[in-house]
Amino acid sequence: MGDFPQKWTRVRDLVEGGQGHTYVVMRSDGSERTEYVLKRLKNSKREEYFQREIQACEKLNHPNVLKIIEHGKTPSNKPYLVTPYCKGGSLETRGPLDLPLLVGLRMFLPICAGVADAHQSKVFHLDIKPANIFVSEDGVPVVGDFGICFIEDTEYVMSSDGPRGSMYYCAHELRGPKIRPGTLLAPADVYSLGKVLYWLFTGDVYDGSQEDYSDLVERNLAERFSSAPEFAFVDELIKGTVQRDPQQRIRNGFSNAVDLRDRVQAVIKRIEAGGRVLDLSKPMLCIFCARGYYLPYPRILGMWTDLKDRLADKGQHDEWNFNSQTFVPMRVAGTNFDGSSGIGSPVPLVLVCQYCGNVQSFRFDLTPDAAGLWKP
């Protein structure tokens, strides 16, 4: 029926893709009832891209990368490929997912794992977006559509009609008809993954192509979902990846998807273990009674310092300084906390639960690097 390989029977049409017609098919011999997807090239000028997708997917073997079952030519000599049918559709067609924090991160982790495997095999996707991430019947995400990918040690074919991939997810350095020699492609995929992570929780495209994520604080997830302070951990991932300057992504520790996968895994473990956001402006539930919230000890005494002064000290790298006038109340409170005057410099941070009285004490004189991790 139509221009189809003899061994495949067309079941129904799917949405037409950028470079191919797609159909749900089954084996013509009836040997199984499994449905697959057949993609057939529609534009002969795109055949090199089509063949590159086949080459990339044959090179990769990972549960979170869409596999190619077979490929060949139709009776009219058009290239085709066959992949498993992901009945869950693409992330884009599923619409806003409204996922809880850990559920979203656990869905994002295998996406990173699939791209990480590609990067380790020197394959760079260059078009990562929700429409190219598919979900199997049992809910497992797989990365597909490697049509404009780059495979190291192959000749790179440039398109002349605009940026690589989606305008909304494409890294800044890939925008425009030409990619400069020496452009690092793994950090470009990392940028796109950061935008996918934002989309997973919001259903919104973070379309600020001219801004770094950290430039627009009001759009941060921790601000949007203020009842869940742990979203600040996700913000740190997005801030590290959604940066216009690829070298800044690398300096942030995100050279490739392997780095991002490992960091996501660490964030998941941190949240599962009950890790807290080091931010005094966020509510901190007591780890003992799980009912009350912690407040800094000087605030309980009515001696808490002004936020403006604390921010000024932080800007001058003078935070938690025993000699700073800003922290005189904390010095006094710390000295009086156990009736002694043996408080060192920098001053300690003491948090007290307002319900059960549980106390958490932080000694920055013993762990000087920790002081800078706290937000005033």
Which of 207-211, 269-273, 338-342 is least confident? 338-342
Rounded CA-CA distance 4/132 in Å is: 24
More confident call, 49 vs 194: 194
Give the highest mean pLDDT range of 14-18, 79-83, 294-298.
79-83
Fold agreement (8-84, 91-272): no
Which of 108-112, 120-124, 206-210 is least confident? 206-210
pLDDT for 161: 47
Give the start-to-end residue ranges of the domains of the chain: 8-84, 91-272, 294-373
For residue range 169-211, what is the model confidence (pLDDT) as tens digits?
989 888 766 677 778 999 999 999 999 999 999 988 876 556 7
Give the highest mean pLDDT range of 5-14, 38-47, 188-197, 341-350.
188-197
pLDDT grade for 42, boundaries at 50, 70 and 90: confident
pLDDT for 348: 77
Residue 163 has pLDDT above 50, yes or no: no
pLDDT for 309: 78
Nearest-CA neighbor of 257 among 139, 110, 63, 107? 110
Give the highest mean pLDDT range of 41-50, 217-226, 269-278.
269-278
Q: Mean pLDDT across the stretch 211-230?
A: 83
295: Cα separation from own chain's centroid: 32
Q: Which CATH number describes the domain made up of 91-272?
A: 1.10.510.10
Residue 257 has pLDDT above 80, yes or no: yes
The secondary structure of residue 237, as a DSSP letter, is: H
Q: Mean pLDDT across the stretch 321-341?
A: 64
Entry pTM: 0.84
Q: Mean pLDDT across the stretch 14-26?
A: 81
Q: Mean pLDDT across the stretch 322-343?
A: 63
Beta carbons of 94 and 107 less than 8 angstroms apart: no
pLDDT grade for 338, boundaries at 50, 70 and 90: low
pLDDT for 153: 62
Count Cβ atoms below 10 Å from residue 157 Cβ, excluding itself: 10
pLDDT for 235: 94
More confident call, 297 vs 140: 140
Residue 164 has pLDDT above 90, yes or no: no
SS3 45: helix
* Residue 36 φ/ψ, nearest 5 degrees: -125, 175
Name the CATH code of domain 8-84 (choices 3.30.2130.10, 3.40.50.1970, 3.30.200.20, 2.40.50.140).
Answer: 3.30.200.20
Residue 37 has pLDDT above 90, yes or no: yes
pLDDT for 315: 77
Which of 2-6, 211-215, 241-245 is least confident? 211-215
More confident call, 195 vs 305: 195
Q: What percent of the chain has pLDDT over 70?
A: 84
pLDDT for 370: 80
Rounded CA-CA distance 294/376 in Å is: 14
SS3 295: strand
Length of the chain: 376
pLDDT for 208: 57
Residue 162 has pLDDT above 50, yes or no: no
More confident call, 312 vs 145: 145
Which of 82-86, 314-318, 343-347 is least confident? 343-347
pLDDT for 339: 46
Q: Mean pLDDT across the stretch 143-171?
A: 71
* pLDDT averaged over every residue in the chain: 85
Q: β-pairing, 8-13 with 20-27?
A: antiparallel
Residue 239 has pLDDT above 90, yes or no: yes
Residue 143 has pLDDT above 90, yes or no: yes
Q: Determine whether 309 is exposed, middle or buried from the number of CB atoms within 10 Å of its CB (0-12, 13-18, 19+).
A: middle
pLDDT for 340: 45
